[in-house]
Amino acid sequence: MGKRPLDLESFPRRAQYELYRGYANPYAGLTVNVDITDFLAGLRRRGAPFFLGFCWCVTRAANAVPAFRLRLSEEGIAEYDFCPASVTLALPDESYCYCKLPDAESFGEYLPLALAAKEAALRAARMEDEEDVDSLLFVTSTPWLSFTQIVHPLPQPADSNPRIAWGRYFSQEGKTLIPVSVLCHHALVDGRQIAAFFAALERELAALS
Q: List pLDDT tens digits, range 45-98.
A: 999 999 999 999 999 999 999 999 999 988 899 999 999 999 999 999 999 999
**pLDDT confidence of residue 75:** 84
Q: List pLDDT tens digits, range 144-188.
A: 999 999 999 998 889 999 999 999 999 999 999 999 999 999 999
What distance in Å separates the CA atoms of residue 76 and residue 208, rounded to the nearest whole number? 37
CATH for 30-181+194-208 is 3.30.559.10
Question: Domain coordinates of the chain in residue numbers?
Answer: 30-181+194-208
What distance in Å separates the CA atoms of residue 150 and residue 186, rounded to the nearest whole number? 17
**pLDDT confidence of residue 1:** 63
- Is residue 130 pLDDT above 90, yes or no? no
Q: Mean pLDDT over all residues of the chain?
A: 94
Partner residues linked to 27 by β-bridges: 185
What distance in Å separates the CA atoms of residue 195 and residue 77, rounded to the nearest whole number? 22
